[in-house]
Structure formats: C-alpha cells, structure tokens
C-alpha cells in the first residue's frame, strides 16, 4: 500500500489550487447570489485540460488518471462547489461514458470538443416520476427511418441550460423494462428539444439545473450511444464514476469549512482569549479533520480501484455516502464555531452548508448509496 502521490499528481493539485484561488474565488460570492453560470471560468478549465481529464489525448483529453481528477475536483470545489459540479458532470457523466462506449463517429464529433472544453455536456436520466427509481423511464425513443424520435420530460439536469450536448436516456422497447432503455446524444437547438426555467436552488446556485422537454424531437440514428437496450447499464456505469467525483466535491466543501473554522477560531476572542484555546472548539476542529481524512481515504481508494480496472461501484457508493455526510457535518460545525457570523453572507460558511446538502441528494441519494453497498455485501457472500 502506497499513500504517496506522484510528482505529477502534486503538480495537478497545485495547478488546480492556483487556478481556483486566482480565477474562481473572486467571483464566487456574486455568482452565488445572482445564480450566474461561470461561462468564462469553464472555458479556462477547458484550456487547462480539466474538462476531459481522463480522456486520452487522441480525443482531446488530458489522459490522466482518476486520482488526478479527484485532486483537481477537491481544489476547485473547495473554492466554488458550483464550478466543481459543472466540471464533474462533463468529466464523469459525459466524457467517461462516451469514451468507453461511443462509436468512432461519436468520439470524433462529440467527445473531442467536450474533452477539450470547447463544448459542454449534460446527463439526463431523472424524470418527474423516475428519480431514485431510475428504471421507470417514461421518455420514449421510436425509430423512424434513419432517425429516432424522442418524446418526454427529464428533470434536475445539471448544465441543462448551458450544455451543447445532452446524453439522454429513453425507452426504445417498453416490453423489456430497464433492458429496453437506450442512450442518445441530443444537440442544443435540435427541433422539438427545449428546456424549462433555471431552478432557483438552495445551493450550488451558479451551476444551472433545469428540466428538458422532447416533443417529436428527431435525432440521427448514429447518435445512439453503444447499443439499443444498453442505456440503463450505461447510466449506472457512468454514475459509478460520477459518485467518486461528487465525493471529491464534498471533500472540497468540507476542507473549506475546516479552513474557515480554523482561521476564525484564531481571530475571534471570547472570555479573554482566542476561542481556539477552548477545548469545546478544539474537539470540533479535531473531529472535522479526522472525518475529512477518512472521506479522502475512501475516495482515493475508490479512484484507485477504478484506475486498476476493477469493479468499484461499492467503493464509489461508500465514498459518496461518507464524504457527502461529513461535508454537511463540517459545514454545520464551521457555522457553529462562527456563531452568529456563520449565519450571514459576510462569511462564506453559510454557502458551504447550502452547497454541501446537494451532495447527499444528486447522483444517487444517500439512501440509494446504502442500498447499493448493502446489495454488494450480500452479493459477495
């Protein structure tokens, strides 16, 4: 067992940290308040190679491993978790699946600009009546000559407003249940494809989330990803990787919470001394640091298992479940240490709590992660 990062890993971490501090931090508060999408930042992330980190260079990516991706995700999310989720969806939910299962045509036409960051991707699985129970897809895709015709509604789509290319799960054969679901690429601007209003969210407000509508939306047959009937499998595989990315996002928020709490505890005086001198505060700081380390161990383990091309869905579920839980706990403790100041916008910790909460919900709720872990344990018996 080796707990050391390589020189390359440390360089990527440093690059991400410097970029986040120089380019993301200054506008994060305003963008949160105004729910403003960080278009310029996303463009620069693409130039750095952070929008297609694990895609081979022949398809416009940086050709890095999952550990590198996690290191970068933590640094970016520490400064702005909204930017973190935009980056995570493009890398894990869009590029990963297209690289693994896309045809040469798809890799050339769609994956390459996505991995370079010239185009942005979204992933549309959830529907009004198919959230956690994702096998119950109602969106349909019927064949019509060399086209598929899509009808239905998707919701909670991250990057839904801004994305150029959307990966959409739809049923091609109702009789086959989830084995009759397929994945398609739908381009922004396709006739019959629209989106709902940008959701007014509690947190990650500068990322955009919306519903998508398909009304007799005709797309070329070559935009089918992998094969008919493989769409649910595709979604589950991509979500496994996505969950590691969300675990990293949660760790970033938890680290930001701890750093803010440490700083404030040394500045704030009460009863004649810095509050960091009180054991009540020290115990909170110690617990936060321990939880963050444990979340990192789970997340880097999941990333290492994935990089070793072994089954990693249980590890990914554990990483996301734990990291999201401790992100909420650390943000709450940071607010508690700040007292009243933690409850107002002037200090950043209230945003950390708002941003942390979604990590327990999207890409599979904590309840779904527990279900996946328990099933894996029982299957292993």
- Tell me the closest approach of the beta carbon of residue 133 to ligand CAA, in angstroms: 6
Stretch that binds ligand CAA, among 145-153, 229-237, 264-272, 283-291 (CB under 6 A): 229-237
> Tokens 């998508």 map to which residue?
212
Report how far residue 150's alpha carbon sits from residue 157's, in angstroms, rounded to the nearest whole number: 17
Give 28 or 130: the residue with its C-beta nearer to ligand CAA.
Answer: 130
CA 145, 109, 244: angle at the middle one, nearest 5?
A: 110
Give 17 or 301: the residue with its C-beta nearer to ligand CAA.
Answer: 301
Helix/strand number for the chain, H first, E second: 13, 10
The contact mask relative to ligand CAA for 82-101 (x = CB under 6 A, - = no) is -------x------------
Binders of ligand CAA among 145-164, rule CB under 6 A? 156-158
Report how far residue 94's alpha carbon sits from residue 326's, in angstroms, rounded to the nearest whole number: 27
Kindly report the length of the chain: 381
Secondary structure E strands in 174-295: 181-187, 193-195, 209-220, 224-225, 269-270, 273-274
Q: Does 178 bind ligand CAA (CB under 6 A)?
A: yes
Q: Is 175 helix (H, G, I), strand (E, B) or coil?
A: helix
Q: Does 181 bind ligand CAA (CB under 6 A)?
A: no
Relative orientation angle of helices 279-307 and 313-338, to the nearest 10 degrees: 160
Stretch that binds ligand CAA, among 49-57, 102-110, 282-290, 364-372 (CB under 6 A): 364-372
| Active-site residue, 18 included | no
Give 262 or 373: the residue with its C-beta nearer to ligand CAA.
Answer: 373
The contact mask relative to ligand CAA for 12-51 (x = CB under 6 A, - = no) is ----------------------------------------
Give 122 or 349: the residue with its C-beta nearer to ligand CAA.
Answer: 122
> Tokens 């839980």 map to which residue?
325
- Write out the H or E segment, with its range, that includes residue 31: helix 25-34
Give 76 or 239: the residue with its C-beta nearer to ligand CAA.
Answer: 239
Report whether 59 contacts 233 (CB < 8 A): no
The contact mask relative to ligand CAA for 99-138 (x = CB under 6 A, - = no) is ------------------------x-xx-----x-xx---
- Tell me the closest approach of the beta carbon of residue 309 to ligand CAA, in angstroms: 15
Give 13 or 359: the residue with its C-beta nearer to ligand CAA.
Answer: 359
* List 20, 45, 70, 239, residue binding ligand CAA (CB under 6 A): 239
- Write out the H or E segment, with its range, that includes residue 228: none
Q: Does 167 bind ligand CAA (CB under 6 A)?
A: no
> Tokens 């940086």 map to which residue?
62
> Tokens 């527990």 map to which residue?
370
CA 134, 321, 362: angle at the middle one, nearest 5?
A: 40
- Torsions phi, psi for 225 (to 5 deg): -95, 135
- Tell me the closest approach of the beta carbon of residue 242 to ligand CAA, in angstroms: 7
Which region, left, alpha or beta, applies to residue 309 given φ > 0 means left and ψ of -120 to 50 means alpha?
A: left
Report whether 334 contacts 352 (CB < 8 A): yes
Binders of ligand CAA among 251-310, rule CB under 6 A? none
Give 350 or 363: the residue with its C-beta nearer to ligand CAA.
Answer: 363
Stretch that binds ligand CAA, among 10-18, 257-265, 294-302, 359-367 (CB under 6 A): 359-367
* List 101, 148, 234, 313, residue binding ligand CAA (CB under 6 A): 313
Q: Active-site residue among 259, 363, 367, 380?
A: 363
CA dihedral sign of residues 249, 253, 256, 262: negative
- Residue positions annotated with a catalytic role: 363
Binding positions for ligand CAA, rule: CB under 6 A: 89, 123, 125-126, 132, 134-135, 156-158, 178, 232, 236-237, 239-240, 313, 362-364, 368, 372
């Amino acid at each position: 067992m080796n707990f050391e990062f390589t020189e390359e890993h440390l360089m990527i971490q440093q690059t991400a940290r410097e970029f986040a501090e120089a380019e993301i931090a200054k506008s994060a508060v305003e963008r949160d308040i105004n729910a403003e999408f960080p278009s310029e930042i996303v463009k620069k992330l693409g130039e750095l190679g952070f929008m297609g980190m694990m895609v081979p260079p022949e398809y416009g990516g940086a050709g890095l491993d999952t550990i590198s991706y996690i290191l970068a995700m933590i640094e970016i999310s520490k400064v702005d978790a909204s930017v973190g989720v935009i980056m995570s969806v493009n890398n894990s939910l869009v590029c990963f699946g297209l690289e693994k299962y896309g045809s040469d045509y798809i890799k050339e036409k769609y994956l390459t600009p996505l991995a370079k960051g010239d185009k942005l991707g979204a992933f549309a699985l959830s529907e009004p009546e198919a959230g956690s129970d994702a096998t119950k897809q109602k969106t349909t895709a019927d064949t019509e000559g060399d086209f598929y015709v899509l009808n239905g509604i998707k919701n909670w789509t991250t990057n839904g407003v801004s994305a150029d290319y959307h990966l959409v799960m739809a049923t091609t054969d109702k009789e086959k249940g989830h084995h009759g679901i397929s994945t398609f690429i739908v381009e922004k601007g396709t006739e019959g494809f629209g989106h709902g209003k940008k959701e007014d969210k509690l947190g990650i407000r500068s990322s955009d989330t919306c519903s998508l509508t398909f009304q007799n939306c005709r797309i070329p047959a070559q935009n089918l990803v992998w094969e008919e009937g493989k769409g649910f499998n595709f979604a589950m595989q991509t979500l496994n990787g996505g969950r590691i990315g969300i675990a990293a996002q949660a760790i970033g928020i938890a680290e930001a919470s701890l750093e803010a709490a440490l700083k404030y505890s040394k500045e704030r005086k009460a009863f004649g001394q810095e509050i960091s001198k009180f054991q009540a505060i020290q115990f909170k700081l110690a617990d936060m640091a321990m939880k963050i380390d444990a979340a990192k161990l789970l997340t880097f383990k999941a990333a290492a298992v994935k990089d070793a091309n072994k089954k990693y869905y249980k590890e990914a579920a554990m990483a996301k479940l734990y990291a999201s839980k401790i992100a909420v706990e650390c943000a709450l403790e940071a607010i508690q240490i700040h007292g009243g100041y933690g409850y107002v916008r002037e200090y950043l910790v209230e945003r950390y709590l708002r941003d942390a909460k979604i990590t327990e919900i999207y890409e599979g709720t904590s309840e779904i992660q527990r279900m996946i872990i328990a099933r894996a344990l029982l299957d292993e018996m």
